[in-house]
Amino acid sequence: MLDLQGTAAKHHVVAEEHLDIAREHLEMQHTVREQEFSDRQKDYLQLFRLTKSTQDATYEWYKNRVEDRAEGTCSWFLEHAHFQEWLKQVSGPLLVSADPGCFKKSKKGVQSAIKSLPTTVSQVYQKIFSKSKDQPIVRRVLAVLLAAGRALTVLELNIATEIQGTTQSWEDLDLEKEEDFKSRLRSWCGLFISVYDGKVYFLHQIAREFLLADVSPSTSVPQKVRWEHSIAMHHAHKILAEYCLHYISFYSPLKRLGTNNTWLPGARYFGTESFFHYSRKFWMIHFREAELNTSKDAVLFKLGLKVSNPESLCFPGLTGMHASYYSYDVIPEHHLTIVSSFGHDEIVQMLLDKGANANAQGGKYYGNALHAASFIGHERVVELLFNAGANVNDRVNDLGESSSSALRRASRHGYERIVDMLLNASALYPESSDNDSVKSSDGETPWELLP
């Protein structure tokens, strides 16, 4: 009996050992199958992932994909909701692994796929914009970014793109929420631009070089040009000058509110003031750099005349002086003096043609047009004023300090070309009595005053 029990115990131990061995074999087989499935996944079921998503998505989940299902795989990927969601994002990477269904997985297939890829940065940019459905507005956005005097905020760019020739006031602007506009901006320009700290930039300097066309104002970009070298800088300045001038023209120092006919200062109602401040600071540069044509750009010249006219309602907003400008105990600057200080020779000529007095005196800062142009350094304006009979020896108050001449002002600021022009026009230095003596009372000459 004891022998039988011992034998049974030995068989039980052997059975347990066999059972353990069987378990190990089963686990090994399971591991091998898992590894084989994992390897197949790497080959046929690779993942793509959005940084925003909560889980991975596989081709198998959505398409029940099999190895020979190649046709349409890439189209499915590009049309996928997750990919479309990513396109609307302003920033953030999209991690994608190439599925074999996108091309034939053979030596020749790989070579063919590689050959179809863009070979230059320009080709990549062309592909980005070729898919845009709003190409006219995309061109305007890119032109604004090219010519901008500083990085524009998302709001400022939103305002600029909403300004049309028919827009009559700030209230007419149909502005989107910032996030919505950022989404549209991304759909327009893709990876060509970047938004950082609320400001819009080109992704790289190469992007600017890709867009800029090297043409003179008298020639236009050929129509066959799609995107590369398609925007001339003077044209970009023209677009931004138009936006700035329209926006400034909406300003009025007072605005009637409510039914009780009360008036409030205009500064209280231009809520989107950041683009107003930009326009006030940079419109003169954009207007000048646009190299406008008086016949082709009559609307812009009309706007330029309006916003620079001291008698217009929008002028106080342009100067930043508001209603207090008119309380100074001085004669306001003349319109000709103001545009002469801006360096807008076309508007200067327009005012002179309309009978503006080239020697009109008055103003807190410049005194007359010739002094303004000499003080800032606008050579062409000085020449126009000479031709209109400006007195080169008129002396005016030098910012409230002392009597000064145009020659002294040009000398002080180092404008050698204007100094030459004034001397050739028989300008006398202060205290001089003849053309041969161009020394001041303390013995200084114009050339000694040059920095």
Residue 237's pLDDT is 92
Average pLDDT (69-74) is 52
Least confident piece of the model among 32-41, 202-211, 280-289: 32-41
Give the mean model confidence (pLDDT) for residues 397-415.
71
Least confident of 4-8, 133-137, 158-162: 4-8
Looking at residue 7, its pLDDT comes to: 57
Indicate the SS3 state at residue 210.
helix
Nearest Cα to Cα of residue 434 among 375, 393, 389: 393
Q: State the average pLDDT for the chain.
A: 69
Model confidence at 329, in pLDDT bands (50, 70, 90)?
Answer: very low
Neighbours of 74 (CB within 10 A): 14
Count of H helices and E strands in the chain?
21, 12
pLDDT at 113: 64
Position 116 scores a pLDDT of 66
Per-residue pLDDT band for 46 (boundaries 50, 70, 90) equals very low
Q: Does residue 157 surpass a pLDDT of 80? A: yes
**Structural tokens at position 167:** 């827009």
The phi, psi pair for 186, rounded to 5°, reads -65, -40
Q: Is the pLDDT higher at 398 or at 24? A: 24
* Residue 344 pLDDT: 83
Neighbouring-strand partners of residue 49: 95
Q: How far apart are the first and last CA of the chain?
A: 125
Instruction: Report the top-level CATH class of 335-451.
Output: mainly alpha
Q: How far apart are CA 191 and CA 210, in angstroms?
A: 14
Structure confidence at residue 404 as a pLDDT band (50, 70, 90): confident
Q: How confident is the model at residue 69 (pLDDT cuts 50, 70, 90)?
A: very low
- Contact, 127 vs 121, CB < 8 A? no
Residue 318 binned pLDDT confidence (cut-offs 50, 70, 90): low
Higher-pLDDT residue of 144 and 178 is: 144
CATH 1.25.40.20 domain range(s) in the chain: 335-451
Sign of CA dihedral 220, 224, 226, 229: negative
Please, are residues 317 and 276 in contact by the beta-carbon 8 Å criterion?
A: yes
d(CA 245, CA 301): 10
| Confidence class for position 144, pLDDT limits 50, 70, 90 | very high
The conformation of residue 151, written as its DSSP 8-state character, comes to: P
pLDDT 10s digits, 246-288: 888 877 655 434 444 444 444 433 445 778 888 888 888 898 8
* Cα 223 to Cα 294: distance, rounded to the nearest angstrom: 24
Task: Give the number of C-alpha atoms closer than 13 A to the C-alpha of residue 41, restricted to the C-beta side.
Answer: 11
Question: Where do the H-state alpha helices sit in 212-297?
Answer: 233-249, 273-289
Instruction: Please give the pLDDT value at position 240.
Output: 93
- Over 50: is that where the pLDDT of 325 sits? no
Mean pLDDT on 231-235: 88
For residue 395, the cross-strand partners are 405
Q: Write phi, then psi, for 11 (nearest 5 degrees).
A: -60, -35
SS3 20: helix
